[in-house]
């Protein structure tokens, strides 16, 4: 019923040095929560379903080369949290490594952000409540990889990027609504990780 269901999802393919194996990065910026979290949720559910479809396609296309176990790193601003339905039920992301390893029906993603969520911090603050909208997720190909190690998953915070008691981001804003702050950054804090070749 939603005519403009999703934004583009960006896929970039890399070859792992000294190997025929691929590393596929998938960049996401899902529809916003403007208009209400639940009113806009169907857009993000369809974006999640689209991501899951392309995850399956990537594995199918590379199955001859790598036995359907391609390393896939999914990242971006999902405008939903790790526990929201668009992420868990439609993207098929989970906090269970075992589910990722043993899933037979459709490929699952392991969400790397749950330990950070347990610290009570976020990448975006709404009414001074932390929301972890920016996330990293990895495929079975990374979870089981003997060649790739994931380390140092975190929210990047430099002192000049935050303000207030709740340490929320200093926004750059927009000239159109007179909220421009040339010393600002984004309304979201960045996330980072290190992929290390074993």
DSSP readout, 140-178? HHHHT-SSEEEEEEEE---GGGEETTTTEE-B---TTTT
Distance (Å, whole) CA 21 – CA 111: 22
- Write the CA distances from 74 to 34, 60, 93, 170, integer angstroms: 23, 17, 10, 26
How many of the other CB atoms lie within 10 Å of CB of 71?
25
Residue with tokens 């190690």: 149
Domain ranges of the chain: 10-147
| pLDDT score recorded for residue 87 | 98
Taking only the tens place, the pLDDT of each residue in 146-189 is 788 999 999 998 888 888 877 778 778 777 777 777 777 888 89
Task: Tell me the whole-structure pTM to 2 decimals.
Answer: 0.89
- Tell whether the model's pLDDT for residue 45 goes beyond 90: yes
- Tell whether the model's pLDDT for residue 64 goes beyond 70: no
């Amino acid at each position: 019923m939603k005519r403009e269901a999703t934004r583009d999802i960006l896929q970039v393919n890399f070859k792992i040095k000294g190997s025929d194996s691929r590393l596929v990065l998938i960049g996401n910026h899902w529809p916003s929560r403007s208009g209400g979290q639940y009113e806009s949720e169907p857009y993000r559910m369809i974006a999640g379903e689209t991501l899951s479809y392309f995850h399956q396609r990537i594995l199918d296309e590379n199955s001859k080369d790598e036995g359907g176990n391609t390393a896939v790193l999914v990242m971006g601003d999902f405008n939903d949290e790790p526990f929201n339905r668009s992420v868990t039920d439609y993207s098929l992301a989970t906090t269970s490594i075992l589910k990722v390893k043993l899933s037979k029906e459709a490929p699952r993603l392991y969400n790397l952000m749950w330990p950070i969520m347990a610290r009570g911090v976020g990448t975006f603050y709404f009414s001074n409540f932390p929301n972890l909208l920016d996330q990293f997720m990895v495929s079975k190909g990374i979870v089981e990889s003997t060649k790739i190690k994931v380390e140092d998953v975190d929210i990047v915070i430099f002192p000049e990027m935050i303000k207030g008691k709740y340490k929320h981001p200093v926004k750059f804003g927009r000239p159109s609504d007179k909220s421009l702050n040339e010393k600002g950054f984004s309304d979201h804090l960045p996330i980072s990780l290190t992929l290390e070749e074993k």
